[in-house]
Amino acid sequence: MLGQPGGLITTAAQALDYQFGFKVSETWFYKFLEKALAWIILLQLCVLFLSTTFVIIEPGGQGLLEHFGRPAQAGAVLDPGWHLKWPWPIDKVYRYQTREIQGFVVGEEPDKEETVLWTRPHFSKEESEDASEMLVASREQTAREDNSEKAVPANLLTVSIPMQYQITNLLAWAYNHADADKLLQELANREVVRYLVNVDLDHIMSDGRLAAAEEIRQRVQTRANEAKLGVSIVFVGLQDIHPPLGNKRTQVAGSFEAVVSAIQQKQTNILYALAYQAEKIPSAQAEATNIIAQAHNDEITRIAVAEAEAGQFTNQIAAYRVSPSVYLQRSYLETLARALGPVRKYILTATNTQDIVILNLEQNIREDLLLGGSILPPDINKSSPTHK
Amino acid sequence: MKRNPITIITGAVLAVIFVCMLFTFQVRQTEVAVVTTFGNYSRSITNAGFQFRLPWPIQKIYEFDNRIQTFERKFDQSFTKDQISLIISVYVGWRVADPRMFLESFNGDVTKAEQTLEPVVRNAKSGVIGQTAFSDLISTNQAELRFDEVETKMLDAIQAQVRRTYGIQIEILGVKRLNLPASVTSTVFERMRAERQRLVSKYQSEGERAAKVIRATADGQANEITARAKSEAIKIAGEAETKAAEYYETFKKEPDLAVFWFQLKALEPSLKERSSLILGPQTVPFNLLNGVSGNNATNSPFQK
């Protein structure tokens, strides 16, 4: 075939003649092809060969240029753009998306739940036996630890931590590890486990969350650097780390919410007490002001009355000195007349009887006693059933 | 016969390519290679680059990935020194250290190498965990924690075995997951819930205590304010009495009259409504009534 390539064409022409029913081999196109086929094939080979002498790297990517299998001395890493190189198989280029932000999740893979609640399953395995909670230390449990007991001094947390990274050193990424992405995920898992077994549950669930995210990011970065992965960890998110759902018998996440409610209740009680305090103190201050003001009023009244009485008494002295007994009697009777006007009075005028008169001084007094103000004769009093 | 020069050139090029393929090969940066001649080991190539060889079947080339391979051992259950059951998973990063030994041990098959590595890793893992207390693996006390040390022990135990036997080197080992069996998990859930219940009670009682303290303090402060005001009022009343007493000098002029006068003043307000008086016949001015009844005319002032 290499010695006489025209023979192959002749055979093909005979087959075409037979199929089409006319002499294809006598057409101008066939004759041109017969003469130029070798040139055409050679030209195509040349074009193909020459096409391997340059490479175009797309935006966001980088190329790794190898010369006889070794990284090219003059710039093994090709940035986006057009580059010349030796033809294949002398130089080979391997492409990587180095600028692209890549990511993975440590722990549970989240479902596409729009609303994420602790008490509702939102991970695919969360309710199953395969749920993979992570062990978390507890400061109190550590303090209580007693080797004689078999209690497990640990807590469990459901964890779903997204991590994002970017390739920063292509040579390290490509040459040091067969599956660098997988190794990075293993390292990240290890660092999360390592962090959680040494951190207090309540700390990471509350104020330590942000600091924990940064701490884990730094630890994963350090481990990645030690493993020469050539990556930069750009993000570690701890937003989805929470108590496990529990099982049918024991709902754990719900009990954590009860604590939140209790904290709220505590604050509510304190606020009610503060409201009581806010009302009580000003009220007492107002009462105190009132008492003192009343005292001042009384003081003024007392002094004024004393002054007035002194003045009145001075005036009375003159009248008294003229006729003391008359003045006294007159004053007495005037006062009595004024004072006894509205008062109910019983006047016992009979002195020659041994009867004991019992008067009912309660409110239900006989009407005839009240009306008219008449003084009943003793004989009527004797007929009263209250008389003995 | 006249040869077509193009045909000759094409043939020559193809012949050169064929010869190159037969007598040369490349070793990539990521690879190591072992060359055998008639089945016997000839040499190992650990440097990347262009290499010459004798054509097949005289020489055969075995190329292996020289980068770190990541191998993950699935979950295994192990007992700690203090008899706590743990489920633990480790990952291992290994690479070909001796290409010849790797070829002879596993025929260059990475999968076979990892299958062989698996029981070795499991053995080391169980052995080391069995010597470790649970509190060495999980504790908030950094000084107490032996997590890193446990990993190093596992690595050392595996390393000694695989380097001299399998021709591979363990570069990385880490604990990927640490968990508890399902039966223990239930009791941990129960304890976690009890712990939360304790916190609920704590916060509730703290809230009640704080509220009581605030209320009691408020009551105390209010009482103090009122008491001070009352004290001040008494003082003011005393001062008023002192000032009023200055006017009482006047009453010394006629003490009998003063006493009588004050009695009268006291009498009037004491006889307000709803008072009932029982008066004897001698009470002035009611003694006048003795004459009205006719019984005791002798006592009537009208008779005098």
Per residue in B221-264, pLDDT (tens digit) is 999 999 999 999 999 999 999 988 888 888 888 888 888 888 88
CA distance A20 to chain B (A): 30
> Closest partner residue to A142 among B141, B184, B267, by Cβ?
B141
Rounded Cα distance between A147 and A198, Å, is 19
Ranked by mean pLDDT, the top range of A222-236, B25-39, B122-136 is A222-236
With beta carbons less than 8 A apart as the criterion, state whether A103 and A165 touch: yes
Residue A272's Cβ-side half-sphere holds a number of Cα atoms within 13 Å equal to 10
Top mean-pLDDT range of A293-307, B129-143, B268-282: A293-307
**Residue B214: exposure state from Cβ atoms within 10 A (0-12, 13-18, ≥19):** buried
The answer to whether the CB atoms of A70 and B187 lie below 8 A apart is no
CA-to-CA dists, residue B233 to A307, A326, B35, angstroms? 21, 43, 115
A374 contacts chain B (CB < 8 A):
no
Please say whether the beta carbons of B152 and B124 come within 8 A. Answer: no
- Say yes or no for a CB contact (<8 Å) between A349 and B284: no
pLDDT-wise least confident of A158-162, B117-121, B180-184: B180-184
Peptide bond into A89 cis (omega under 30): yes
Higher pLDDT, A380 or B209: B209
Residue B209 has pLDDT above 90, yes or no: yes
Residues 308-367 of chain A whose Cβ lies under 8 A from any Cβ of chain B:
309-310, 313-314, 316-317, 320-321, 324, 327-329, 331-333, 335-336, 338-340, 342-352, 359, 361
Contacts of B217 (CB under 8 A, 6+ apart): A277
Which member of A70, A227, A285 has the closest CB to residue B49? A70
The question of ipTM being above 0.85 is answered as: no
Radius of gyration of chain A (CA): 56
Distance CA A347, CA B279 (A): 5
Q: Which residues of chain A have pLDDT under 50?
A: 145, 147-150, 370-388
Task: Grade residue B288 by pLDDT with cuts at 50, 70 and 90.
Answer: confident
Q: Which residues of A touch B85 (CB under 8 A)?
A: none
Minimal C-alpha gap between B162 and chain A (Å): 19
CB count, 10 Å around CB of A200? 18
pLDDT of residue A200: 85
Nearest by CB to residue A346, choosing from B185, B245, B279, is: B279
For A298, the closest of B135, B240, B245 (CB atoms) is B240
What is the b/e burial string over B267-298, where b = at least 16 CB atoms within 10 angstroms of the residue's CB?
eeeebeeeeeeebebeeeebbebbbebebbee
Give residue A380's pLDDT: 35
Cis peptide leading into B285, omega within 30 of 0?
Answer: yes
B229 contacts A251? CB cut-off 8 A: no
| Greater model confidence, B265 or A248 | B265
CA angle A189, A192, A197 (to 5 degrees): 125
Per-residue model confidence (pLDDT) at position B150: 92
CB of A25 closer than 8 Å to CB of A14: yes
Contacts of B299 in chain A (CB under 8 A): 351
Cα–Cα distance, A222 to A214 (Å, whole number): 12
Residue from B95, B102, B93 nearest B71 by CA = B93
Interface contact A310-B83, CB threshold 8 A: no
Nearest-Cα distance to chain A for B38, in Å, is: 26
Determine if the peptide bond prior to B57 is cis (ω within 30°): yes
Give the pLDDT confidence score for residue A376 in this predicted structure: 39
The Cα–Cα gap between B49 and B71 comes to 28
d(CA A110, CA A129): 17
Interface subset of A 8-37, CB within 8 angstroms of B:
none
Percent of all residues in chain B with a pLDDT value above 90, rounded to a whole number: 21
User: Is the alpha carbon torsion for B192, B194, B198, B201 positive or negative?
Assistant: positive
Q: Is A252 within 8 Å of B223 when comparing Cβ atoms? A: no
| A207: CB partners within 8 A, 6+ apart | none
What confidence tier does B300 reach under pLDDT thresholds 50, 70, 90? very low
Question: How many alpha carbons fall within 13 Å on the CB side of residue B52?
Answer: 0
| Helix then strand then coil, % of chain B, to nearest 5 | 55, 20, 20
**Torsion angles phi and psi, residue B254, rounded to 5:** -135, 80
> What does pLDDT average to over chain B?
85
Secondary structure class of B163 (helix, strand, coil): helix
Kindly state the tokens that stand for B64.
């292996």
